[in-house]
Chains A and B, each alone.
Chain A
């Protein structure tokens, strides 16, 4: 058994468009996915997530590079010979078959004995909580139920890897949250590797063991949710995952706390954590997340402290979102947790209030400018 269940080695996929141009949907992507992982492909619309997934399933073949499943190069192996199954975004259920027949389909194609089919379909339907609906047609089910049929239909084949292309995209928010938890539980229960495509960063963060962030066909960063959120390796990832304040800056020098950058707009220098290979003199993006900006009456010891003024506040219950204007007119967002229960308006900051924004060096990331 190979260490990785799926590997993409320098995969490129180009399409000829009807307009006569060529688009590079997937641009030199390499991925290594481990056995039993919940792995997500995350990125904005059109970044090549679906295309990557379809190359693993066998619906598309790479223009160059190689897809390996369990160490075996797939080449032009058709989908029906690959040990992976797909849950389609549109569900793609067979409308002319009952729920039972839909789930049994894959096993029948494999010529599984009828008694075993009955047993396994029953098991799969129980797993997705659809027992008793065997004789319904897909059109007689709600969207969420159809989603479960699609899931059971793929899982019943006990694939090495389950490919899911935005499987919750068509569901309303509440059902979506429920299904996220259910999917995650199910994945842990069956132990099958899931490759999950989504453009919802929150979904990816809460469900995944590891995430690859894609943009314009490129895989920008692969890591655990914590790594992706706390140590994004470029401006795009920092911006796409969660929220971030950015300052344009110039690398000055490395020191014992990290590195020093000049921020012309603030007319000051900041100390932060360099990410990746940076050279003095290089243009960088300096980022800090809103919840990591500390607002105080005094500058804090050991912090980058910048003088500022409260412009606007929004009370949202657990937090107060504060818009600050720093020196040089630069505006940033700061989220303060409401840790004390009080009705005093001053506790939630007042517009016009003069403050210090403390940007601790460990919270300030210095990223290469895209």
Chain B
């Protein structure tokens, strides 16, 4: 455990250190001297675009998974019979057993121009709506499988279990006596859900969103399989430290998700998400 922590913190420190070096444009070598010029480079408009695009996607995916996961977890913990619960659990966990790459490519086929989803949409008579969405310059693209919408759908799908499991665990931990007390004091079911269940399962939502947020921020596979020419942080890091050998800039880029997550955790703590742990 300690050893793993050491390796982890060590590599983080190295990253931080590297982000203060810079790449010599002529020689293509990393100059090991303290400078802020790499960060200057990072804060150029085109790079900031990438940052905002990635963070926006992470936020959208997180919200979508919360909206999808909450009702399902709620049903699982309150209404499902033992058997149903087992089946639902299996259904949530099963996708995690198959390779993530396989699932991403499967979705590319589903979303492709000649894919089953497009076929379904055009037969449902919603082709116009799809075209309108795809022609939107921000979220659109040439087809579902090559657009931010596609990326969003696939991210939401692959990270959904990471949201369901912690929310479900949190809901299971809400004692029945609290729900009874709420009802006894005059709260109708929706009032109980809003005033008692939701706040008490908030730590689960935070835990889940830490997963979905950081996984989306760091992922480079989904955007490169389904994306168009607009890059995400993960892709940039990959290309800078790989092809162009600009380790300092790659490191600086990596600092962004880390900083975002730290800020996020601080806010969550401020809101009292960890008090119930």
Contact = CB atoms under 8 A, between A and B. Distances in A.
Contacts of B185: 80, 85, 105-106, 109, 153-154, 157
Contacts of A79: 180, 183-184
Contacts of A58: 183-184
Contact of A92 (B181, B186, B199, B272): B181
Contact of B177 (A92, A105, A109, A110): A92
Interface in B154-202: 175, 177-178, 180-188, 191, 195-196, 199-200
Interface range, B side? 20 to 34
B243 to A, nearest CB: 50
Interface range, A side? 20 to 34
B187 A109 contact: yes
A246 B196 CA distance: 53
B186 A109 contact: yes
B276 interface: yes
A86 B272 contact: no
A112 to B, nearest CB: 10
A198 B170 CA distance: 33
A83 to B, nearest CB: 10
Nearest to A104: B185
A158 to B, nearest CB: 12
Interface string B243-254: 000000000000
Contacts, number: 62
A96 B196 CA distance: 8
Given A96-B199, A96-B272, A105-B195, A90 B184 contact: no
Contacts of B196: 94
A85 B186 CA distance: 9
A293 interface: no
A96 B183 contact: no
Contact of B191 (A57, A96, A109): A109
Contacts of B272: 96
Interface string A70-88: 0000000011100001101
Interface in A142-198: 153-154, 157
Given A92-B175, A96-B200, A109-B191, A86 B186 contact: no
B177 A88 contact: yes
Given A94-B196, A96-B272, A157 B178 contact: no
Interface of A: 57-59, 78-80, 85-86, 88, 90, 92-96, 105-106, 109-110, 153-154, 157
Given A86-B181, A92-B175, A154-B185, 8 more contacts: A57-B184, A79-B183, A80-B186, A85-B185, A88-B177, A92-B177, A92-B178, A109-B185
21 contacts: A58-B184, A59-B184, A79-B183, A79-B184, A80-B184, A80-B186, A80-B187, A80-B188, A85-B185, A88-B180, A92-B175, A92-B178, A92-B180, A92-B181, A94-B181, A94-B196, A95-B276, A96-B272, A96-B276, A109-B186, A153-B185
